[in-house]
Amino acid sequence: MKILLVIIDGLGDRPIAKLGDRTPLDAAKTPNLDYMAKQGVCGLITPFLFSQEKEPTSEGAHIALFGYQNYFLGRGPYEAVGAGMKMNAGDVALRVNFATVDKNFKIIDRRAGRIEKTQPLIKALSKIKIKGVKFLIKRSFGHRAVLLLKCLRLNLKQLSSGISDNDSHKNKVKIKKIIPLNQSREAKFTADVLSEYLARVHHILKDHFLNRKREKQGLLPANYLLVRGAGKFKKTPSFKERYNLSAACVAGGGLYKGVAKILGMDLIKVKGATGMADTNLKAKFRVAKNALRKYNFVFLHIKATDTFAHDNDFIGKKKFIEKIDKNIKSILCLKNALIVITADHSTCCNMKAHCLEPIPILIFGDGKDNVSQFSERTCAKGNFKKIKQTDLMPKILKLAKI
């Protein structure tokens, strides 16, 4: 039996008063997902957290979904590989947000008004070298980018991923200082050289012509870089080695493509797969469906539900779920396939953040229970009851008789 895993990012939520005390999923009209729920088995997933985390992260959740929590690299390497950057041993990668700060370095907007056309800014930041370290920055999508630190001399102090983030994940607070997380010389050097880089970058960005133009248009300037998830690349056992499954990924966002690539999945390009609300859902489902002819396991990621929730746009989230439902109809005819519909984590609109709410899941293609609608409320009554995120892959493999 072949497996199609559909991850609808940030799908779960809390009830919202303006939706009649329902979640966006519960309020959405989803006849196809409801049909799958009626003909499948449902439940809830408890999101995975690393010991230092207070809420689930996208990177941690995906690694846990695939059963690789013991091989976690930090967010940076997944973002870098997903953006097409080549990492060598010793390199340090970080996830980047273009952000807006005021003259006192208080964060006005972590996403600089969700700026999208950042290429002129990226170009202005290329070829920066500080104390023998080369800084490479590459656009991911939207306001996101990836930063890669490379040593230029063999005798240079080795870089370390043991450094803090400067992103507090909140607006209206001052930027956090980059500090070493251990007592090593490498960590202190990396924290110092990155801090110097960020100061230089701010000087370049605040006077950049694109930002001056944005300010004249009443738009927020992208005048600072928020960095997080420092990590180093290291060899990870492939999906094929661990599960004996040929696997492929269909995604628009760099993080998800990076996770898949590091796990040895083939990336399938889809025209119009942007990782945003305008992503080509029809093409993504068609390509994923066709990929099952060649692969045993296909991972399909859909991002925008999470984005809408981060903006507290519960109406947009509801409508996007309905758009997913309309396009998911094309996979209902799959034969000899197990279709798994779930999320990496819940994202609560009223918090504008990831939250600890249980994640709905339905598995279509092997057995059925008495659930008649796909929602957080109804899935709680399903036969799977509540399972740990790290237990999902073993359950899927068992149901698929692999």
Q: What is the DSSP string of 47-64?
A: PP--TT-SS--HHHHHHH
Q: Is the pLDDT of residue 157 over 80?
A: no
Query: Span 2-73+236-399: which CATH code?
Result: 3.40.720.10
Residue 154: pLDDT band by 50, 70, 90 thresholds? low
pLDDT, tens only, 370-393: 999 999 999 999 999 999 999 999
SS3 at position 298: strand
% residues pLDDT > 70 (the chain): 99
- Give the mean pLDDT of 13-34: 98
Using only C-alpha atoms, the chain has a radius of gyration, in whole angstroms, of: 21
Q: Is the pLDDT of residue 346 over 90?
A: yes
H-type helices in 281-375, by residue range? 281-291, 304-310, 314-328
In this structure, are residues 287 and 236 in contact, taking their beta carbons and an 8 Å threshold? Answer: no
pLDDT, tens only, 78-113: 999 999 999 988 999 999 999 999 999 999 999 999
pTM of the model: 0.90
Q: Is the pLDDT of residue 321 over 90?
A: yes
Mean of pLDDT over the chain: 96
- Within the chain, all domains assigned CATH 3.40.720.10 are found at 2-73+236-399
Residue 52: pLDDT band by 50, 70, 90 thresholds? confident
- Give the mean pLDDT of 105-124: 96
Structure tokens at 14: 């809390």
* Rounded (5°) CA angle 241-242-243: 100
Q: What is the pLDDT of residue 234?
A: 87
Q: E strands along 28-143, which residues?
A: 41-46, 92-101, 107-109, 128-130, 133-139
Q: What is the pLDDT of residue 13?
A: 98
Q: What is the pLDDT of residue 152?
A: 86
Q: Is the pLDDT of residue 289 over 70?
A: yes
Residue 123: pLDDT band by 50, 70, 90 thresholds? very high
Residue 142: pLDDT band by 50, 70, 90 thresholds? confident
Give the separation between CA 163 and CA 183, rounded to whole angstroms: 11
- Give the mean pLDDT of 23-34: 98
| Number of CB atoms found within 10 A of residue 119's CB | 10
Q: What is the pLDDT of residue 218?
A: 96
Q: What is the pLDDT of residue 360?
A: 98
DSSP conformation class of 279: -
Give the separation between CA 179 and CA 168, rounded to whole angstroms: 14
SS3 at position 342: strand
Give the separation between CA 168 and CA 174, rounded to whole angstroms: 9
| Number of CB atoms found within 10 A of residue 241's CB | 10
